[in-house]
Amino acid sequence: MKRPEDYAGKRVIIAGGGDSALDWTIHLAELTSSLTLIHRRNEFRGALDSVEKVRKLKHEGRIHLITPAEVTDLQGNGKLVAITIEKEGVTETIETDYFIPLFGLVPKLGPIAGWGLELEKNAIKVNNALDYSTNIPGVYAVGDVNTYPYKMKLILCGFHEAAIVCQSIYQRLNPHKKFVLKYTTVSGVDGFDGSRKEAEKTGCNSY
């Protein structure tokens, strides 16, 4: 979805029930001549705020919402013309210019799967009690690619894991140096332009 403007004035059908389907429905409803959201359940799995926005768009007649229904066929010859849906045993054909299926991600490890790393459910097992190291010494895994008990695939968790891994790698590379935790707000940070960036200091004068 790199050029949302391509959908301006077009008939668009989105299928899916998660955040991506809801977000794009809300965004494209402003641009398209007709927007239909199809989901196989009546309940959506996205953020409550987005679900409410989509319901509001439907009540205002700005989008069509079809649930519970599944897309069963696409029609066209080199170019999409219509889709077929099945809703509670009834088949219906809807003409459209675009069909956007947003059914989620299927993460694949690719060549990493063959590295000898311990895997579980298509993710790399790490030691979360220590430093997110894998079973191969010197190889760490952070972010969505790793797994451990209570793992949450969130940006916040990935950043936390990365900070722990960095200090562990630092210790590994500099076994005789003491690791000192510093705050960038206090000590500043080296910018990409080579200069030192420091937070503005506020003084406290006594009179």
Ligand X SMILES: Cc1cc2nc3c(=O)[nH]c(=O)nc-3n(C[C@H](O)[C@H](O)[C@H](O)COP(=O)(O)OP(=O)(O)OC[C@H]3O[C@@H](n4cnc5c(N)ncnc54)[C@H](O)[C@@H]3O)c2cc1C
Q: Which residues bind ligand X (CB under 6 A)?
A: 19-20, 105, 110, 143-145, 153-156, 158
Q: For 60-99, give the DSSP string.
A: TTSSEEE-SEEEEEEEESSSEEEEEEEETTEEEEEE-SEE
> Which position's Cβ is nearest ligand X?
143
- Report, in Å, the least distance between residue 110 CB and ligand X: 5
Whole-angstrom CA distances from 152 to 4, 19, 148, 156, 174 are 30, 17, 9, 9, 31
Q: Which is nearer to ligand X, 90 or 156 (CB)?
A: 156
Cis amide prior to 68 (ω within 30 degrees): yes
155: enclosing H helix or E strand: helix 155-173
- Report, in Å, the least distance between residue 54 CB and ligand X: 15
- Report, in Å, the least distance between residue 19 CB and ligand X: 4
CA distance 91 to 73: 10
CA distance 143 to 128: 12
Q: Which is nearer to ligand X, 41 or 153 (CB)?
A: 153
CA distance 5 to 28: 9
Q: Which is nearer to ligand X, 17 or 85 (CB)?
A: 17
- Report, in Å, the least distance between residue 198 CB and ligand X: 28
Q: Which is nearer to ligand X, 110 or 203 (CB)?
A: 110
- Report, in Å, the least distance between residue 44 CB and ligand X: 13
Q: Which is nearer to ligand X, 152 or 186 (CB)?
A: 152
Q: Which two tokens stand for residue 188?
A: 């500043």
Q: Which two tokens stand for residue 149?
A: 């008990």
Q: Which is nearer to ligand X, 86 or 144 (CB)?
A: 144
- Report, in Å, the least distance between residue 126 CB and ligand X: 12
